[in-house]
Amino acid sequence: DIQMTQSPSSLSASVGDRVTITCRASQSIINYVNWYQQRPGKAPKLLIYSASSLQSGVPSRFSGSGSGTDFTLTISTLQPEDFATYSCQQSYSTPLTFGGGTKVEI
């Protein structure tokens, strides 16, 4: 199985900050990474697919980059509604696997 390791596991930030979350795959997965946002008690919401494609309806302050084994999710200007947990997911091979999540706290 491909392991997805996220860092940090949690971070504290303020409204207006630029936030970067990293996801590292245990082997090269080219660009087969998707990113999700999950608010407490809610289902995950797709933000980014194929490493850098913005899902329709998602604000442009969210962006993704990377290839091979290292990927990043960036929130350019943190908004109050962005405080949540973010998870990466590899879609290179089955079983599909997720990172452990990064909790963005105030």
Partner 1 sequence: QVQLQESGPGLVKPSQTLSLTCTVSGGSISRSGTYYWSWIRQPAGKGLEWIGRIYTSGNIDYNPSLKSRVTISLDMSKNQFSLKVSSVTAADTAVYYCARAHFTSDRFDPWGQGTLVTVSS
Taking the complex as a whole, the smallest distance from the CB of residue 3 to partner 1 amounts, in Å, to 11
Residue with Cβ nearer partner 1 (19 or 37): 37
Tell me if 104 sits within 8 A of 13, measured CB to CB: yes
95 preceded by cis ω (within 30°)? yes
Spatial CA neighbour of 98 closest among 74, 76, 79, 71: 71
Tell me if 31 sits within 8 A of 58, measured CB to CB: no
Residue with Cβ nearer partner 1 (11 or 46): 46
Interface with partner 1 (CB under 8 A): 32, 34, 36, 42-46, 49-50, 53, 55, 87, 89, 91, 94-101
Taking the complex as a whole, the smallest distance from the CB of residue 15 to partner 1 amounts, in Å, to 26
Taking the complex as a whole, the smallest distance from the CB of residue 45 to partner 1 amounts, in Å, to 8
One DSSP character per residue, 17-46 reads: --EEEEEEESS--TT-EEEEEE-TTS--EE
Taking the complex as a whole, the smallest distance from the CB of residue 51 to partner 1 amounts, in Å, to 10
